[in-house]
């Protein structure tokens, strides 16, 4: 499915229970293996009632350093979020929040990147979640690596 088709499917899902509140979560995770694989997940969470998700994989022949991979993950998530917002701006739905989930946290080698990456995402107008609250990246996207 391309992003337009994903947006249309999300709208169908939102129409099923239009009075509910939703959170649209975008998260990307990656791994270096014969290049770098990036998986971006779009999670549509119907608050208190489960949800649906969509994912895509991008393969890159290059090996990235950890810092560069984390920045690429954030940029992929931001691009998807910005593109989705353009579809949502043309829809009747307004009972949702967007969140970007990044696979970084206070423990481990990514702790030094929290303020940089969080600032990048907040500066783009999105709420950012990091570990342990970033399940869109660290659980959903990670599952498909």
Please name the residue that has the structure tokens 């993950």.
73
pLDDT, averaged across the chain: 95
Tell me the average pLDDT across 102-126. Answer: 96
Whether 26 shows a pLDDT value over 90: the answer reads: yes
Angle between helices 66-88 and 114-123 (to 10 degrees): 20
pLDDT digits (tens, 9 = 90+) for 77-89: 999 999 999 998 8
- Whether 20 has a pLDDT exceeding 90, the answer reads yes
pLDDT reading at 90 higher than 90: no
Share of the chain above pLDDT 70, in %: 99
pLDDT band for position 93 (50/70/90)? confident
* pLDDT at position 114: 97
For residue range 27-67, list pLDDT tens digits in order: 999 999 889 999 999 999 999 999 999 999 999 999 999 99
Contacts of 55 (CB under 8 A, 6+ apart): 39, 40, 41, 42, 140, 141, 144
| CA 56 to chain CA mean position, Å | 11
pLDDT of amino acid 95: 67
Lowest mean pLDDT among 7-21, 44-58, 87-101, 103-117: 87-101
- Give the pLDDT confidence score for residue 96 in this predicted structure: 79
Element (H, E) at 122: helix 114-123
39 SS3 class: strand
Domain boundaries, the chain: 3-60+71-100+119-127+138-143
Q: Cα–Cα distances in Å, from 9 out to 2, 25, 87, 135?
A: 11, 15, 12, 22
Please tell me the predicted confidence (pLDDT) of residue 59: 95
CA distances from 130 to 1, 41, 47, 90 (A): 28, 15, 19, 30
Model pTM score: 0.95
């Amino acid at each position: 499915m391309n992003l337009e088709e994903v947006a249309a499917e999300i709208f169908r899902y939102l129409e099923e229970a239009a009075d509910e509140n939703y959170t649209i979560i975008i998260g990307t995770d990656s791994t270096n293996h014969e290049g770098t694989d990036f998986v971006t997940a779009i999670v549509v969470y119907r608050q208190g009632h489960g949800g649906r998700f969509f994912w895509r994989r991008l393969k890159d022949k290059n090996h990235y350093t950890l810092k560069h991979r984390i920045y690429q993950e954030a940029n992929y998530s931001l691009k998807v979020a910005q593109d989705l917002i353009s579809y949502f701006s043309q829809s009747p739905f307004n009972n949702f929040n967007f969140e970007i989930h990044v696979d970084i946290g206070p423990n481990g080698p990514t702790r030094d990147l929290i303020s940089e990456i969080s600032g990048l995402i907040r500066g783009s107008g999105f709420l950012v979640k990091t570990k342990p609250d970033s399940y869109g990246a660290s659980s959903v996207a990670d599952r498909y690596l």
